[in-house]
Amino acid sequence: MIRCKICGEPIQWFRTPKGKRLPVDWEPMYYIPDPNGDQLLVLPDGTTDRGWQAGDAAETGVKLGFVSHFASCPGAADMRRS
C-alpha cells in the first residue's frame, strides 16, 4: 500500500489519458453521475466525471469513482509543482 508523503493516508496512482500520474484516495466513493454535481471524481481510466455522493451501491444509477488526493489532502498545496 502506498501512502501520501504529506499526510500519510493510503493512496493509489492513476494515469490520465495524457499519461500524467494522478494520486487518488485509496477508497472509492459511490456517486450518482450528474454534470451539475458537486463532486469531481477520477475514474480508473484516468478520466473524470461529475456527480453527487451516493449513500451506497443500492441507489439507482450509482457508479464508483475516486476523489483526487489533491482535493482531500490537508497538505495539497505543498504537493503542487511550481
2-34 pLDDT tens trace: 999 999 999 999 999 999 999 999 999 999 999
Averaged pLDDT for residues 45-52: 96
Where exactly are the structural domains of the chain? 2-74
Q: How far apart are CA 25 and CA 11, in angstroms?
A: 5
Alpha carbon separation from 49 to 7, 23, 42, 44, 67 (Å, rounded): 25, 16, 7, 11, 11
What's the pTM value of the predicted model, to 2 decimals?
Answer: 0.85
Q: CA 25, 31, 33, 38 torsion: positive or negative?
A: negative
